[in-house]
A = this chain, B = another copy of it.
């Protein structure tokens, strides 16, 4: 075995990619560090040059997920004309992401071990998403669609609804409706109505 294969070009990225793929195809339970290494064509303890521990690898994968979800949400937010549809589009995008990447979404929210304190990068990525949601609510307030007042609790409720929906669908706890985002849309409209200014 000659020189060129000793050093893998970008093992870190390769590992993250393999992890994401394994997550998508086989689920988190089947994701093993040794398996990833083999898949990438590297020995079992090579990953330790790039990640402190398995948890750290998973945290990095989760962080990537948060970034992508934040992007999806931002995109949805900007591609809508009327401001009340923003809400609906956002909810749809959120739920759609979760349903498209169930194991990934589960990983992002489901691991107690992935406490954000231990993984600052994860924390940052999650904050990015939160900020996007906050911006959407603030905007809705400005448009007079949502009652004014402290945003944090309102964001909390909106996030909870959409996250809960995503979770229940992802975990298979709830029958998915025929059309994928029917429920997300209904949820968004219900929420909007519940949050509308009193008159």
Interface residues of A (CB under 8 A from B): 27-29, 102-103, 106, 109-110, 112-113, 115-116, 126, 152-153, 156-157, 159-165, 167-168, 171-175, 177, 182-183, 186-187, 189-195
Q: How far is the CB of A189 from chain B (nearest CB, A)?
A: 8
In whole angstroms, what is the CA distance A190 to B171 when docked? 25
Known contacts: A103-B112, A112-B27, A163-B164. The answer to whether A157 contacts B171 by CB under 8 A is no
* CA gap between A193 and B186 in the complex, in Å: 14
Chain B positions within 8 Å of A113 at CB level:
29
Chain B residues, CB < 8 A from A189: 194
Q: Say how far A26's CB is from chain B's closest CB, in angstroms.
A: 11
Given contacts A161-B161, A164-B163, contact A153 B112 (CB under 8 A): no
Complex CA distance for A87 and B159, rounded to whole angstroms: 20
Kindly list the 7 A-B residue pairs having the minimum CB-CB distance in the complex, ordered from nearest.
A164-B164, A194-B194, A160-B164, A190-B194, A160-B165, A163-B164, A193-B194
